Structure formats: C-alpha cells, structure tokens
Amino acid sequence: MVIGKSISLGNTTDQSINSSLLNSEIEVGIRQRAWVEVDLEAIAENVRQIKRLLSPQTSLMAVVKADGYGHGAVAIAKTVCQAGAEWLAVATLPEGIELRDAGIKKPILLLGAVHTEAEVQAIAHWQLQPTLCTPQQALLFSQTLSELDQSLAVQIKIDTGMSRLGTPWQQGLEFFQLVQRLPNLELAGIYSHFATADSPDPTVMRQQYYRFENVINEIRDQWQSDSDLKFPLLHIANSAATLADPNLHYDMVRIGLGLYGLYPAPHLESVVPLKPGMQIKARVTQVKTIEAGTGVSYGYQFIAKKQTRIAVVGIGYADGIPRNLSNKIKVLIRGNLVAQIGNITMDQIMLDVSDIPDLQVGEVVTLLGQEGEYSISADDWANILNTISWEILCGFKHRLPRVNINSK
C-alpha cells in the first residue's frame, strides 16, 4: 500500500483514507514476516519491582543504550520514566540525541568517552551529562565550554578494577581536584563499574567496593563542609550488584539487564520477580513434505530419517538468529515445542512440523517468548552458544520491526 493514494474497498474508493484503516494496514504489514514484540507493561513492572528494593534516597538509572538492549530506546525510555526511573543512561552521543529529539527531559548520562570539540558542543547543546575519564578529557571540556560561555554538569568515572574506562582509583582524588577547579565544569556525579558482580563469589566485587570507598573518603576529606555545593551523586551498582547487596546502592543504581526482565546470574533470580519484555515472532511462509534421505538447507547438516513435514519460516541470521544455533533450538507453534532443522540461513529457517499436520502458511511461530506451559528465553540461547543474554538481546537487527504491546 502506498500512503497518500486512494484505497479501493470493493466498489468504494475513499480518497481521504480513514486513519484507523491506515493504521490497521500498517500493522498487518509490520507483522507480515517477522517482528520483535515488546511488552511495555512488563518493562514498567520490572522498574517498579526493582524500585521496591531501593531506599527512598536511592534513584534508579535506566540503561537504554544499544537501542534499549534491542527493545527500542525511545519507547523504553518513555515507559521507564513513567514507571519511576529518575535517570537514563546511553553509551553514545547519537543515542542521547535520539532521546532528547523524542522530547525526553530526564537527565541522561553518556557512559562512553568523547574526545572532540564538536562532540562537546553537541553534548552541551542537548544537555547530556558526559563521563570524564582522563585529565585530557576534562581539559577539553573545560576549554570548549569556556569558548561557548556555558557550564555543564559532568560525572567522573573511577576505574576500580574493570580496566576499561575511568581514571585509576589510585589517582581518583587528584582527578577529582582537577575537575573541581576547572572552570565551566559542574561535578554532578562520581561512579565506577563492577567487573564480577554477577559472580556468587563476591571477593573481587568487595575489592572494588573498598577501592571506591577509599577514593570517596579521600574526596569527602577535601570537600568544604561549609560549601553550598551538593556532594556529587555516587553510584557503582549495576543490575547484579543492585540485586546482590543493598549496601552498594549509594545514591543511585544503574539497571540494564534487569530492566528487560532477565537476571544477570541464576543465584539472583529469587531476589525480585522480573518478566522478560521481548518476544521474537515470525510467520510460516511455506509448508511441504520431504521424503526420507532428503537434505535440508545449506550443507545438508540435517537429513530426514523418515518422511517429514517441514515449515519454512521468514526469519534468519540477518535478523539476529545466530547461525550457530542451527539444529540446536526449538520454537513454539500453538503452544507446542517444534525442532528447528538444517542450517539457519540469512532470511529463513526450517522446522520439523510433522506433529502439526494441519499447519498453515501464515501461522505465527514464537522463537523467544512464552506460549502455554513452555517458554524460551534469551538465556536458553545464550547457554547453547556459551555466551550471555545481553548479546542475544542486542543482536536482533533493525529490519525486524518493534511492535509495542500493553502500552499506556
């Protein structure tokens, strides 16, 4: 359908195009092949559940980087803000601009590092809070903002053992003092990041915590008690640390994976009830019968041992279904578990539907999600691939439309 053209319905032509009909036809098109279904109410409830773990003095920062972990950043950001998230976090400058351009007013922390005057100017224009990791960065921000005659709230990151972004904790006080005295910089936060918070063994996490505490105590000793300035916000807990230990909550916690209804580790599943917000669905595009001895898909990694009814489904590795899952997963049709067979191809997969002889073209297949008593999660795929659920969620490509359900 071409939007703006007339639509012919039987003998009637409506030149104005009824908006409800237009929306209905667009929706049919979106769900024609394959799509990501996002349950916004599940996301909102996850926020509410996690906030019940926090004291009234602790804010929740919702991490919506990587397009909201594949769920759709703008819709997720609006949903979590309505549900009680006070802050948002993104990884890149374009991600932050996208949220501001969508009218989102909440404070947004930019987790990644930037190094050019143009980026600093854009950050100032869109009123994002940057992360400063090095003295060179701090000097660049101060100089560029001075030229703009503008001040900006910033946060500094202390590397307590992640060995990624951040100033080494041994130089934490010195870095704080530099940022504090540079003009046009308003220190709004100090934070770090755990490397092993999802481990049942808290040894490394505790070491990082003590290092962070050491830096903060040194900074407090330097803080002028008679100053009108508010002490910077402190935060170090990701989803795993938030669930593991309330003593790590500080002024704010950064919730990523938990927001989307998955747990960072099995031993944390009993802390709070969470519900996955994403389902992956596709439609059957052809059904056929093959005889015993017939190979299926590239390389014939599956050869039928008997006469087999197969279904072709319109989704593949170009959509984010890892090819290494070939012949290793099951999907759901009508609440039944059905085996995927043959190598997963770029745009299609094949299923053994011998037990559903009346299956029709157009029926919906659930690759991730729940139907009846069975559910398939990103964790299930991650376990097969020896990877993590984060990678699975972020892997679904943009040619899969995001369809939001249960939105308010």
For residue 353, give the amino acid letter.
V
Token pair for 260:
């989307």
Q: Give the annotated binding-site residues for substrate.
A: 164, 346
Q: How many residues does the chain have?
A: 408
- The Cα 248–Cα 208 span in angstroms is 11
Among 403, 339, 391, which residue's Cα sits nearest to residue 33? Answer: 403
Query: Nearest Cα to 297, choosing from 352, 340, 346, 342?
Result: 342
| Catalytic site residue from 51, 65, 157, 281 | 65
- Catalytic: which of 69, 263, 288, 298? 298
Residues annotated within the binding site are 164, 346
User: Can you tell me the distance from the alpha carbon of 251 to that of 235, in angstroms, rounded to the nearest whole number?
Assistant: 6
> How would you class 386 by CB atoms within 10 Å of its CB: exposed for 0-12, middle for 13-18, buried for 19 or more?
exposed
H/E element, 146:
helix 135-148
SS3 182: coil
* Residue 210 annotated among the catalytic residues of the structure: no
230 carries an active-site annotation:
no
Q: Which residues contact 45 (CB under 8 A, 6 or more apart)?
A: 83, 275
> Which of the residues are catalytic?
65, 298
